């Protein structure tokens, strides 16, 4: 089985996260999986963005869920991050999910790799923010499922979330899609698999939670394991020794060529 390397929010060592430029750069690097974040605008369009609130002029913050997508599209998000010194400044707006699909699929065709990308969609959702930062789970999951169906890419799309409610609802609506539970604390592991109520294809824990016993337990339940966010070469190799099935990383350009990791 191929060890999976996911480009976290695109190739963000080179371009600002969750932009079309970052995703297309991931294609150029040879990535086969990109991870991206989903939020929702007021007019129920799926916006690819990590944070539910954005700077909207001066120092004021606004919720994406309180803005139409036309308003969102007026906000540039191409400034480089100080966390990634090689990032280039670009002119970019937060794209819709369907724009990401179109741009990446076109880049793949030009690269001679048609159909060569898996999309791992992180649905951003918080139980305390239903109706404030996003729709309630039933409506939210339905919105995501409809967009995936419209894309025709169902076999190459996964849904992951920290919010088990989203996974349970999406699974009810579309049982044949691929799902992943994101885990950031041990409480979620202790509650699994009773929450979300099924064993998804993937359980994706934070790097510091991963050890051999956890990987063994999750494998015994039938779930694959992807660790996040794994950026240092020594951690990449350590995760592989623990038996994980892949990594979500800000530096796929390193992971793809790391001796002992790449090509396995």
- Give the mean pLDDT of 30-52: 98
Per-residue pLDDT tens over the stretch 114-169:
999 999 999 999 999 999 999 999 999 999 999 999 999 999 999 999 999 999 99
Q: Which of 129, 96, 133 is nearest to 18 (CA)?
A: 96
**Count of CB atoms situated within 10 Å of the CB of 105:** 20
C-alpha to C-alpha distance for 236 and 239, rounded to whole angstroms? 5
Cβ partners under 8 Å of residue 75, min gap 6: 54, 55, 56, 93, 94
Q: Would you say 100 and 15 are in contact if contact means Cβ atoms under 8 Å apart?
A: no
Cβ partners under 8 Å of residue 181, min gap 6: 160, 161, 162, 164, 167, 188, 192, 196, 200, 202, 203, 204
Q: Does position 264 have pLDDT exceeding 70, yes or no? A: no
Q: Determine if residue 259 is left, alpha or beta; phi over 0 gives left, psi from -120 to 50 gives alpha, anything else beta.
A: beta
C-alpha to C-alpha distance for 218 and 223, rounded to whole angstroms? 5
Domains of the chain: 4-255 (3.20.20.190)
What pLDDT, on a 0 to 100 scale, did the predictor assign at position 56?
A: 87
DSSP H/E element including 122: strand 118-123
What pLDDT, on a 0 to 100 scale, did the predictor assign at position 1?
A: 62
What pLDDT, on a 0 to 100 scale, did the predictor assign at position 59?
A: 76
Cβ partners under 8 Å of residue 201, min gap 6: 158, 178, 179, 180, 223, 224
């Amino acid at each position: 089985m191929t060890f999976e390397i996911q480009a976290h929010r695109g190739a963000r060592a080179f371009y600002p996260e969750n932009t079309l430029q970052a995703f297309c750069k991931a294609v150029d690097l040879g990535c086969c999986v990109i991870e991206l974040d989903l939020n929702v605008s007021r007019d129920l369009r799926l916006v690819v963005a990590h944070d539910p609130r954005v700077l909207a002029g001066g120092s004021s913050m606004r919720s994406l869920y309180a803005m139409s997508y036309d308003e969102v599209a007026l906000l540039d998000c191409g400034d480089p991050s100080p966390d990634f010194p090689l990032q280039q400044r670009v002119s970019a707006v937060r794209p819709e999910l369907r724009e990401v699909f179109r741009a990446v699929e076109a880049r793949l065709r030009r690269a001679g790799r048609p159909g060569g990308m898996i999309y791992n969609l992180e649905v951003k959702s918080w139980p305390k923010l239903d109706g404030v930062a996003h729709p309630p789970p039933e409506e939210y999951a339905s919105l995501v499922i409809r967009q995936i169906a419209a894309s025709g890419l169902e076999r190459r799309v996964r849904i992951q979330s920290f919010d088990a409610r989203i996974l349970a609802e999406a699974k009810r609506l579309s049982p044949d899609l691929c799902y992943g539970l994101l885990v950031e604390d041990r409480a979620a592991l202790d509650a699994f698999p009773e929450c979300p109520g099924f064993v998804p294809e993937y359980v994706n824990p934070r790097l510091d939670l991963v050890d051999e016993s956890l990987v063994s337990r999750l494998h015994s339940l039938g779930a694959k394991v992807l660790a996040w966010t794994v950026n240092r070469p020594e951690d990449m190799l350590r995760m592989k020794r623990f038996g994980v099935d892949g990594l979500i990383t800000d530096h796929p350009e390193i992971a793809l060529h790391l001796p002992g990791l790449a090509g396995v």
